[in-house]
């Protein structure tokens, strides 16, 4: 019986954006009673085993090679078609997608059955269905690799290490619980042989950020019963189960006391001079919530092995390219490109900055393989996902994405155009700065800078009021008396600071009065579609941040999504939303007698 085919809505949008004649590999999850869900693809001018194996190692465990995709009249994949088909392990019936360029019209899906193609229908799995039906695991563990600094030795010792990992001696624990899982299954009487991943999620304690998470998740699509995602990190709607790794003293089922932690595994080779490399693995897997809990152990082991393979590839690539004979320490990074609907992992070496030529070339290669533009960053270190619990001991940070969960604006037949990405909400009196009455534009600048930091364009610190004043004096825009004063700034000064601190250009837009702001609604909509950056608007002595518009082209009705820097209270999301400090504002919000200047930051070309 052929699998039931589903295709992620994220994947369909990516396929539709592909306008070059090429071939690529498809990756999916096989789950339930014979369902294949297509989640991702890569493209490359030459398809080969090395290509798709390297790509697969970057994906969470259980997201596997399942077929081929062809765009237009492409024939370059024909020579490798049989090789790809033979490499598909998760189903006996590999899939072939045939797409026209730049459109989903005419998309055909076929399974290979006894060497012949059989066309089949498919269902689209929307984003909310993915979030409801699937989750991810993320585990952290440490090993020591002892190896000679040669590609051959690294490959050999990594192979031995993977075998050690898979020998059945590891035990997994869900943090802050007494739930342990070994190769016999979960060691807890509350779980039976029929228990599912969802049963495990239900008993995991809610993290310390539950209040913020719950309030953020209030906005639900109409008609969709979307449960609150207690374990979802900010910026991601999937729940992520965190796992600790231990090592059992024996292979027998553990009774009584939990197993003792094992911090390292050493692999030795007495015939060569060795160096010891610490390997701090972070590995991920994707699971259907209805998957039997009995399978979890094998999936977690596979995720560790994928992480080790990524480390191996990065070490060998550096040894081969540099010829230095020096082993650097690899580290795991997980990224969540919004266009993908799934995580992608990379292994980067300590000591190689994001701007070194080799790192730039690796990222460019990734962009091309995933059909991503090379005009914006996706895989720089600053793009990595921040998981729940990672920032508990970090310095204070403002609230993130305060517009999420707001009620609709009420514009009839309007279309929302919103900031594209994450930002922090900066406002009066934060960081013990007494800027009430004069610091609103400074706070708007800080919010804009946070957007560029959180999108991975820069690692520069958010500029303080004093640093802004010092810079404006340095470039001879302000006199010396301005430094340390309580004088306000406007959109022009904001654009100067964005150029000076971040090398970001801005477009300045002038509006004669508040009554005419509706005339630039279409231009703001285009800005959020193409640039996606927060916009600073200044009028009179007041400054605000625009992070979206809801605009009806037919009637001209518009509302502006405003982030108000004049707020002086505590960083409480509910208060900020209910009191309108972040909310939709109509034309009556603007002063009809004041002129306005808008600073519209432009994305730099960077990857």
State the catalytic residues.
Answer: 440, 564, 566
Token readout for 450 is 């946070």
Question: Rg for the chain (alpha carbons), in Å?
Answer: 26
Token readout for 70 is 């062809």
CA distance 29 to 238: 16
- β-pairing, 108-113 vs 535-539, is unpaired
Taking CB atoms within 8 Å and a gap of at least 24, the contacts of 55-59 are: 55/25, 55/27, 55/369, 56/27, 56/306, 57/306, 57/309, 57/310, 57/313, 57/345, 58/310, 58/344, 58/345, 58/346, 59/27, 59/306, 59/342, 59/343, 59/344, 59/345
600's torsion region: left (phi>0), alpha (psi -120 to 50) or beta? beta
Phi, psi of 606 (to 5 degrees): -155, 145
Alpha-helical segments (H) within 117-232: 127-133, 151-165, 197-203, 210-216
Tell me the CB-side half-sphere exposure of residue 63, using CA atoms within 13 A. 31
Token readout for 46 is 């030459």
CA distance 445 to 432: 17
Exposure string (b/e) for 139-148, b if CB count within 10 Å is 16 or more? bebebebbbb
**H-run or E-run covering 280:** strand 275-288
CA distance 600 to 595: 16
CA distance 171 to 255: 13
**H-run or E-run covering 562:** strand 558-563
- β-pairing, 180-182 vs 596-601, is unpaired
Q: 56: how many CB neighbours lie within 10 A of its CB? A: 19
């Amino acid at each position: 019986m052929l699998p039931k085919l589903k295709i992620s809505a994220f994947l369909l949008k990516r396929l539709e954006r592909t306008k070059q004649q090429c071939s690529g590999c498809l990756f999916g999850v096989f789950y339930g009673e014979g369902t294949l869900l297509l989640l991702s693809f890569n493209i490359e001018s030459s398809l080969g085993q090395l290509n798709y194996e390297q790509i697969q190692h970057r994906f969470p465990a259980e997201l596997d090679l399942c077929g081929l995709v062809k765009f237009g009249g492409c024939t370059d994949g024909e020579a490798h078609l049989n090789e790809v088909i033979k490499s598909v392990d998760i189903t006996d019936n590999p899939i072939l997608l045939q797409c026209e360029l730049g459109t989903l019209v005419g998309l055909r899906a076929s399974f290979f059955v006894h060497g012949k193609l059989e066309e089949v229908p498919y269902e689209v799995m929307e984003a909310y269905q993915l979030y409801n039906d699937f989750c991810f695991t993320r585990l952290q563990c440490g090993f020591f690799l002892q190896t000679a600094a040669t590609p051959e030795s690294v490959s050999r010792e990594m192979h031995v290490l993977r075998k050690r990992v898979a020998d059945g001696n590891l035990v997994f624990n869900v943090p802050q619980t007494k739930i342990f899982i070994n190769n016999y299954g979960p060691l807890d009487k509350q779980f039976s042989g029929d228990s599912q991943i969802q049963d495990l999620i239900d008993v995991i304690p809610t993290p310390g950020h539950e209040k913020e998470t719950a309030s953020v998740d209030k906005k639900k699509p109409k008609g969709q019963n979307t449960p609150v995602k207690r374990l979802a990190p900010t910026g991601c709607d999937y729940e992520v189960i965190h796992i600790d790794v231990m090592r059992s003293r024996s292979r027998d089922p553990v009774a009584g006391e939990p197993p003792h932690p094992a911090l390292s595994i050493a692999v030795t080779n007495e015939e060569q001079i060795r160096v010891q490399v610490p390997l701090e693995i972070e590995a991920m897997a994707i699971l259907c919530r209805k998957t039997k809990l009995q399978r979890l152990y094998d999936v977690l082991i596979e995720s560790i092995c994928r992480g080790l393979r990524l480390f191996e590839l990065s070490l060998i690539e550096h040894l081969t390219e540099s010829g230095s004979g020096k082993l650097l320490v690899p580290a795991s990074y997980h990224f969540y490109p919004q266009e993908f609907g799934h995580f992608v992992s990379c292994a980067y070496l300590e000591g190689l900055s994001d701007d070194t030529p080799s790192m730039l070339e690796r990222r460019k290669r990734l962009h091309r393989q995933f059909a991503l533009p090379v005009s914006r960053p996706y895989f720089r270190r600053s793009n990595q996902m921040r998981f729940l619990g990672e920032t508990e001991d970090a310095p204070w940070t403002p609230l993130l994405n305060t517009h999420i969960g707001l009620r609709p604006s009420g514009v009839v037949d309007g279309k929302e155009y919103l900031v594209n990405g994450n930002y922090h909400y900066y406002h009066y009196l934060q960081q013990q700065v007494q800027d009430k009455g004069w610091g609103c534009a400074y706070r708007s600048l800080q919010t804009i800078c946070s957007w560029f930091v959180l999108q991975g364009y820069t690692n520069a610190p958010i500029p303080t009021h004093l640093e802004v004043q010092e810079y404006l004096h340095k470039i001879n825009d302000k006199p010396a008396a301005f430094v340390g004063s309580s004088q306000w700034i406007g959109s022009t000064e904001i654009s100067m600071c964005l150029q000076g601190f971040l090398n970001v250009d801005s477009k300045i837009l002038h509006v004669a009065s508040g009554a005419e702001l509706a005339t630039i609604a279409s231009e703001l909509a285009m800005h959020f579609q193409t640039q996606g950056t927060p916009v600073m608007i200044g009028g009179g002595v007041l400054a605000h941040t625009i992070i979206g518009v809801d605009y009806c082209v037919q009637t001209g009705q518009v509302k502006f999504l405003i982030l108000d820097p004049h707020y002086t209270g505590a960083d409480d999301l509910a208060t900020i939303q209910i009191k309108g400090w972040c909310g939709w504002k109509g034309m009556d919000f603007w002063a009809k007698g004041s002129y306005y200047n808008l600073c519209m930051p432009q994305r730099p070309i960077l990857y």
